[in-house]
């Protein structure tokens, strides 16, 4: 039997099977909410302050009152970790605008719905690390506020399904001929030993690994450039990579059925992956905070 999952919903901790939200919750009716996914290594949330800052920013963009302060959120994350037996977990946090009679306009005086859960963090399969994954190119048909980590994910859901239908793990999306991101990951391009990433603007979600990989490039002495990247540059890249909370950093070794570079995970991937593992180990070994 798998370990029981205890979730947090509006002030209560309950078994996941018993947690309920009213049908008029605006998360259910409109997808009117935001979320975060925080990896936990050795029972320590990884890059927590960056995740919290992004959550605060997403709430602010949707004009949803932040239900907790920074300590309150951290307390919730720590409580979820403590209730589960796994050393490596991932925490899912979601806030919706709340429950109200159905009307597009913001309701007055509603209390946001707050949900938190933890799951065992699946290991990235060794085969994917060794061989890389395949991806397909797709037009980016999402809205123009992709920097908000919103639960309205239909564009991402359809894009991911198109990738799966084509036998690939992820998609690489373009808007007006320039790279944006994957359905649930940021995409990295290596050309001439330089790591390229698309600008941090409203057309992509700035992953917490975006800042992290930028730091790792700096510490590894890898030149890093943030700029618009054309489709032709992606298609003739030496290496492609994706990053996300649960996939960490992975090589994309085939794009649209063709090999990327050598067709094997490349040397820049190997360096960034090793540096990433080091960053995780350092975070996991930090002593629990004495105070908040
Ligand atoms: N872009 C999109 C669209 C995502 O959904 C995600 C994460 N799931 C990312 C990028 C990567 O963000 P992070 O590194 O914070 O997981």
Alpha-carbon gap, residue 154 to 92, rounded angstroms: 18
Residue 89: phi and psi, rounded to 5, are: -135, 170
- Pocket test of ligand 1: the residue of 36, 51, 244 to mutate, having most ligand atoms within 8 Å of its CB, is 244
Residue 185, ligand 1, Cβ within 6 A:
yes
Please tell me the predicted confidence (pLDDT) of residue 288.
57
Number of domains making up the chain: 2
Residue 52 located in a structural domain: yes
The parent domain of residue 64 ranges over 6-120
Assess whether the C-beta atom of 205 lies below 6 angstroms from ligand 1: yes
Which DSSP state fits 133? E
Regions of the chain where pLDDT drops below 70: 1, 287-292
Residue 286 has a pLDDT of: 77
Whether residue 1 is contained in a domain is answered as no
Ligand 1 neighbour 209 (Cβ under 6 A) = yes
| Pair 79, 141 in one domain | no
Ligand 1 pocket, mutate which of 94, 207, 241 (most atoms under 8 A from CB):
207
On whether both 109 and 132 belong to a single domain, the answer is no
Q: What is the CATH number of the domain that holds 198?
A: 3.20.10.10
- pLDDT value, residue 3: 77
As annotated, the active-site residues are 149
Distance in angstroms (rounded) separating the CA atoms of residues 164 and 169: 6
Based on the fold, state whether residues 60 and 130 are members of the same structural domain.
Answer: no
Residue 289 included in any domain: no
62-102 residue pLDDT tens = 999 999 999 999 999 999 999 999 999 999 999 999 999 99
Cα–Cα distance measured from residue 74 to residue 77, given in angstroms and rounded to the nearest whole number: 5
Which numbered atom of ligand 1 lies nearest the CA of 209?
14
Q: Choose one of 96, 120, 144: the last residue of a domain.
A: 120
Model pLDDT, residue 292: 35
Sign of CA dihedral 150, 154, 157, 163: negative
């Amino acid at each position: 039997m798998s370990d029981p999952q205890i979730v947090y919903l509006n002030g209560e901790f309950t078994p996941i099977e018993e947690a309920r939200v009213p049908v008029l919750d605006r998360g259910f009716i409109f997808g009117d909410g935001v979320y975060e996914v925080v990896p936990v290594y050795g029972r320590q949330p990884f890059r927590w302050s960056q995740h919290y800052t992004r959550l605060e920013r997403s709430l602010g963009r949707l004009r949803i009152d932040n239900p907790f302060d920074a300590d309150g959120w951290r307390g919730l994350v720590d409580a979820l970790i403590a209730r589960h037996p796994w050393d490596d977990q991932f925490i899912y946090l979601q806030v919706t605008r709340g429950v109200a009679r159905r009307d597009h306009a913001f309701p007055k005086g509603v209390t946001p719905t707050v949900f938190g859960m933890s799951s065992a963090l699946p290991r990235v399969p060794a085969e994917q690390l060794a061989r890389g994954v395949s991806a397909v190119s797709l037009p980016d048909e999402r809205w123009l506020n992709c920097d908000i980590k919103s639960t309205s994910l239909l564009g991402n859901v359809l894009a991911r399904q198109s990738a799966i239908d084509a036998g690939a793990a992820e998609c690489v999306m373009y808007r007006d001929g320039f790279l944006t991101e994957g359905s649930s990951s940021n995409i990295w391009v290596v050309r001439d030993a330089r790591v390229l990433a698309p600008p941090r603007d409203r057309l992509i979600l700035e992953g917490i690994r975006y800042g992290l990989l930028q730091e790792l490039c700096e510490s590894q002495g890898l030149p890093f450039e943030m700029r618009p990247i054309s489709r032709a540059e992606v298609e003739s890249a030496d290496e492609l990579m994706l990053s996300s909370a649960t996939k960490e950093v992975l090589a994309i070794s085939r794009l649209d059925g063709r090999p990327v570079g050598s067709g094997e995970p490349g040397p820049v991937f190997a360096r960034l992956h090793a540096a990433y593992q080091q960053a995780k180990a350092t975070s996991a070994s930090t002593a629990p905070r004495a105070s908040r």
